[in-house]
Amino acid sequence: MNIKELCDTVRQTSYEIHCYLGVGYLEKVYENALVHRLQKKGFDAKAQVPLEVHDEDATIIGDYFADVIVNDTLIVELKACNDLSKSHEAQLFNYLKTTSIEHGLLINFGSEKFQIKKYIFENKDFINQKTK
């Protein structure tokens, strides 16, 4: 499965979760639902994956936890808020940069209207791709 098909599957699965659960739950509920449904479909979906941030001399200077990583090729950052912000984008950007994973999805389950954005991290550039 290529990355476009993987992103389409995660997007569709997330939308189905949004329709089923609606708004109002904590982020963790949506995270558990997404991982559960993706694993049922045969994907290697992991939640709260630890990421280490290193200084230029390889000293560990911090830890992050990515919400969901799918097939070791896609980072999914989940939110349950009224609207997505630049700080949410920056968080995903840092996860992509830290892991060297190129593709990421930013998904908000907290808005009445389902929100999802796709990003690509290429050559130190952060590209927002339009999603349907």
pTM of the prediction? 0.89
Q: Is the pLDDT of residue 9 over 80?
A: yes
Phi, psi of 65 (to 5 degrees): -135, 115
Report whether 109 contacts 29 (CB < 8 A): no
Is the pLDDT reported for residue 104 higher than 70?
A: yes
Structure tokens at 122: 């290429």
Could you tell me the domains of the chain? 3-129 (3.90.320.10)
Residue 6 structure tokens: 């993987």
Looking at residue 123, its pLDDT comes to 65
Evaluate if residue 132 carries a pLDDT over 50: no
How do residues 28-78 score in pLDDT, each as one tens digit?
A: 999 999 999 999 999 999 999 999 988 999 999 999 899 999 999 999 999
Residue 130: band (very low, low, confident or very high) from pLDDT cuts 50, 70, 90: low
Secondary structure (3-state) at 50: strand
Give the C-alpha separation, 27 to 110, whole Å: 8
Helix (H) or strand (E) holding 119, with range, is: strand 115-122
Query: CA angle, corner 83, sides to 22 and 4, nearest 5?
Result: 75
